[in-house]
Chains A and B, each alone.
Chain A
Amino acid sequence: MALIPPPGAPVRRSGRTDDTIDWDLRDPEALEAAHGILTTTVEKAIAWAQTSAIWPATFGLACCSIEMMHTLSPRLDMGRFGAEYFRGTPRQADLMIVAGRLTQKMAPVVRHIYDQMLEPKWVISMGACASTGGVFNNYAVVQGCDKIIPVDVYVPGCPPRPEGLMEGIDVLRKKIGFNGQTPSSELIAERRREREAFMAAAAAAEAAAAAEAAAEQAKGGQPN
């Protein structure tokens, strides 16, 4: 199942449709700007529960997975944030940390595991190789896991320090906490598309009605 695009195909730089891709959520202003809707108390409570116990799926691929294991080490202890319980099965996990270089042979497996995860689910792309292909720009490495799965947080580094990964999880928690009960980026994009389609249809209907009314007016005004 080779994923090399045929020659001449347009190169997709990123699979993301979310326009918050360039916002650095560590900046308090950007954080405020990304604040889409007013959150209710119930949604805040749900967000608190979700962010306090994000269970990652075991998905270490290469060197970054060792640093991911170091976030569990006594020095950094990801267990403080509730994320210590790495689930063996993706069905029971809500976070997938793609840690390491994603190769052509492994790509369908990654997608399959992402599909098995239940909503709400998030993805952290850990390391340079998972984010953009990293040091390896060649036939064997998929240039970024966002070509096949939607990513919520990118953590740069080769490998990123465990503290870096913790900051990535922290940013993700802020992102979740903000929009209330955040579904995965895929669902957000789908809902936005539906909303836009609906608005476009409504606008078209209105325009058609207005044109009809204007035609009626003109016709009504003519014979006199």
Chain B
Amino acid sequence: MSTTDNASTFPLAMEGREAVEAATREGRELTPTERIIASVEAYTPQEAAERTLANEMLADTRPGTREPLIINLGPNHPSTHGVLRVIVELDGEIVRDVTPVIGYLHTGIEKQCENKTWWQAITCVTRMDYLAPFANIHAYTLGVEKLLQLDIPPRAAWIRVLLSELNRLASHLVFLGTSGLEMGAMSVFFYCYRERDEVLDLFEMVSGERMNHRYFQVGGCAQDLPEGFIPRLQALLNILPGRIDEYEALLTGNPIWQDRLKGIGVIPAEQLLNLGVTGPTLRAAGIPLDLRKSQPYSGYEHFQFDVPTEITGDAFARYLVRVREMRESIKIMQQVLDGLPEGPVIADDRKVVLPPREELAWSMEALIHHFKLVTEGFMVPEGEAYATIESPRGEMGCYVVSDGGPKPYRVHMRDPSFVNLQALRPLAKGGYLADLIAVIATLDPVMGGVDR
């Protein structure tokens, strides 16, 4: 079955037609984005050849005199970090304008959470930003604990810090690997995934899953760290600095890497702040905003670490910031391991937290609590809360609204990639098409978080 010669069988061109239909149905004008989407006509190869010939015969070939070429990158493309569609207006090789179109991974997670109990919603929320599942559930559980006014024991807080930093490391390893792949440095991909496999083994020891964990529980952590976890983590922390040195030896001084990334994608830091960008992108532009330092949560105030900042704000700076953050994460994890306090890993409030399994054998009250919690779930008092954490991509916030029932009334996750991706347009304008790929790679969006 070949693609027929009718442009109306191309789904991305159809989206434009549907936008026009929807607009006429509602009796309104097309918005700029809809207009751009509608201008993407998918041509068969024959049509495209004819158009190019006609275009070239009509116009001058100097840059700026030709009709702009509008091409469609994605949503299925080897280097768009997931299902991101970018409509690029090109003048030769120079990018005149960029329109990101998202929504190809919109899963309705926020709506799904409204139908689940407060516990079950953790499993939905964790699949949002799939490279930082611990960050998702950290923000959510912090929000719910705020509503419940529940204090978590110190051991739970330190374990949360440990796993959040391990997650940051794993996420930055993916950034490094996939960025390398997109820039053409394929070996880095294999090295980073070798390390990431070790980290995912640790996650599997702790939560039972390599990804999409449901380990942080409302009130602390679902279970204690298993035996053998700490020696294994310590062994990994011993070899990691050497491995990161390997990556830096491959990339940081590499003239090809520097040429690809230096000077690419620079806009003033105030504009980034105004756009709502957070995370390594903002820190690479000179604004040292890190929520672990400015509003410490979950015990981060006990740890000594630096916040890597650069001033150039280009793609190379973003790369450097992330590599240095990996080293800082190792430092934090070492401090956690050195001083991990003993004690319970989950709060004591039986109205919210399951009783220990052994108690069910001899305590009627524990049995009733267990029954109520598992069948009905716990009630959260009416109110609203907004909890923010520093995820590997920036500020992750969770806005929870409760109506006093066992299910969330509204859960909104303020995902950093969603807001950061707005900066793609100013960052990529004026550069080459290949630099657009570099910009997307160093912006590090995760489409699960963008589309939710």
Given contacts A109-B12, A109-B76, contact A70 B127 (CB under 8 A): no
Return B207 CB to nearest CB of chain A, in Å: 13
* Interface check A138, CB cutoff 8 A: yes
Q: Is A36 an interface residue (CB 8 A)?
A: no
Chain B, residue nearest A63 (CB) = B130
Q: CA A63 – CA B82 in complex, angstroms? A: 10
Known contacts A59-B76, A116-B3; A65/B105 CB under 8 A: no
CB of A111 within 8 Å of the partner chain: yes
Q: A1-B15, A67-B211 are in contact. Are A73 and B123 (CB under 8 A)?
A: no
Give complex CA distance A129, B451 in Å: 16
Contact of A63 among B77, B108, B212 (CB under 8 A): B212
Query: Which bracket fits the contact residues of A?
Result: 35 or more
Picked from A88, A108, A141, A158, the residue with its CB within 8 Å of the CB of B107 is A141
- Residues in A whose Cβ lies below 8 Å from that of B196: 70, 73
B152 on the A face (CB < 8 A)? no
Cβ of A56 to closest chain B Cβ, rounded Å: 12
- Interchain CA distance A141-B424 in the complex, whole Å: 27
Counting CB contacts under 8 A, is B301 at the interface? no
**Which of chain A's residues has its CB closest to B112's CB?**
A138
Distance in angstroms between the alpha carbons of A1 and B13 in the assembled complex: 11
Check: A72 CB closer than 8 A to any chain B CB: yes
In the complex, A62 has a CB within 8 A of chain B: yes
A62 with B108: CB separation less than 8 A? no
Q: How far is the CA of A136 from the CA of B124 in the complex (A)?
A: 8
A1-B18, A66-B130, A66-B211 known; A73 and B194 CB under 8 Å?
A: yes
The verdict on A63 contacting B127 (CB below 8 Å), with A70-B197, A103-B106, A161-B210 known, is: yes
A63–B78 CB distance below 8 A: no
A103 neighbours in B (Cβ, 8 Å): 103-107, 451
Chain B: which residue is nearest A160 at the CB level? Answer: B210
Q: A66-B131, A73-B193 are in contact. Are A106 and B212 (CB under 8 A)?
A: no
Q: CA separation between A115 and B357, bound complex, in Å? A: 53
A105 at the interface (CB under 8 A from B): yes
B197 touches A73 (CB 8 A): yes
B253 within 8 A of A: no
Of A62, A67, A112, which is within 8 A of B210 by CB?
A: A67
The one of B11, B109, B211 in contact with A1, judged by C-beta atoms closer than 8 angstroms, is: B11
* A58 on interface, CB distance cutoff 8 Å: yes
Contact A108 B190 (CB under 8 A): no
Which of chain B's residues have a CB closer than 8 A to the CB of A58?
A: 76-78
Shortest Cβ distance from A121 into chain B, in angstroms? 11
Known: A63-B127, A105-B106, A106-B83. A75 touches B194 (CB 8 A): yes
Residue of B104, B111, B194, B200 near A139 (CB, 8 A) is B111
In the bound complex, residues from chain B placing their C-beta under 8 Å from that of A62 are 82, 105, 107, 127, 130, 447-448
CB closest chain-A residue, reference B133: A63
Asked whether A75 lies within 8 Å of B197 as measured between CB atoms, the reply is: yes
A83 to B399, CA, bound (A): 43
Q: What are the residues of chain A within 8 A of B3 when measuring CB–CB?
A: 112, 115-116
A70 near B193 with CB under 8 A, answer yes
- Does B10 have its Cβ within 8 Å of any Cβ on chain A? yes
| Bound-complex Cα distance A132 to B330 (A) | 39
B1 within 8 A of A: yes
A10 to B82, CA, bound (A): 33
Q: How far is the CA of A147 from the CA of B93 in the complex (A)?
A: 40
Interchain CA distance A79-B36 in the complex, whole Å? 41
**B75 adjacent to A135 (CB under 8 Å):** no
Instruction: Identify which of residues 104-124 in chain B touch chain A, using a CB-to-CB cut-off of 8 Å.
Output: 104-109, 111-112, 123-124
Among residues of A, the one whose C-beta sits closest to the C-beta of B191 is A74
How many B residues are at the interface, by size bracket? 35 or more
Cβ-based interface call for B174 (8 A)? yes
A72: which B residues are within 8 A, CB to CB? Answer: 189-190, 193
Q: Are A158 and B212 in contact (CB under 8 A)?
A: yes
B67 to chain A, nearest CB (A): 26
In Å, the complex CA distance between A113 and B123 comes to 31
CB-contacts of A72-124 with B (<8 A): 72-75, 86, 88, 100-101, 103, 105-106, 108-109, 111-113, 115-116
Shortest CB-to-CB span from A180 to chain B, Å, is 22
- A115's nearest neighbour on chain B, judged by CB, is B1
Contact in complex: B106, A112 (CB < 8 Å) = no
Contact partners of B82 in chain A: CB under 8 A: 60-62, 65
Cβ–Cβ contact B197 & A63, under 8 A: no
Name the residue on A nearest B11 (C-beta): A108
Chain A minimum-CB-distance residue to B178: A69
Residues from chain A with a CB closer than 8 A to the CB of B108 are 136, 138-141
Cα A167 to Cα B230 with chains together (Å): 31
B131: chain A residues at CB < 8 Å are 66
Separation of A113 and B104 alpha carbons in the complex (Å): 15
**B109 touching A136, Cβ below 8 Å:** yes
C-alpha gap A138/B113 in the complex (Å): 11
Contact between A66 and B174, CB atoms less than 8 A apart: yes
- Contact of A135 with B123 in the complex, beta carbons under 8 Å: yes
Residue of B nearest to A140 (CB): B108
Q: How far is B200's CA from A67's CA once the two chains are assembled, in angstroms?
A: 10
* Central interface residue in A74, A103, A105, by most chain B CB within 10 Å: A105
Q: In whole angstroms, what is the CA distance A197 to B11 when docked?
A: 33
The verdict on B14 contacting chain A, using a C-beta distance below 8 Å, is yes
A177 within 8 A of B: no
In the assembled complex, how far is the CB of residue A137 from the closest CB belonging to chain B, in whole angstroms? 8
Contact with A along B45-87 (1 / 0, CB 8 A): 0000000000000000000000000000001111000110000
Contact surface of A with B, Cβ cutoff 8 Å: 1, 58-63, 65-67, 69-70, 72-75, 86, 88, 100-101, 103, 105-106, 108-109, 111-113, 115-116, 135-136, 138-141, 158-159, 161
Q: List 21 interface pairs A-B (beta carbons < 8 Å), by A numbering.
A: A1-B18, A58-B77, A61-B82, A62-B130, A65-B82, A66-B130, A66-B131, A66-B211, A70-B193, A70-B200, A72-B189, A73-B194, A73-B197, A75-B197, A103-B104, A109-B11, A109-B76, A135-B123, A136-B124, A140-B107, A159-B212
Chain B residues with a Cβ under 8 A of chain A: 1, 3, 9-12, 14-15, 18, 75-78, 82-83, 103-109, 111-112, 123-124, 127, 130-131, 174, 177, 189-190, 193-194, 196-197, 200, 210-212, 447-448, 451
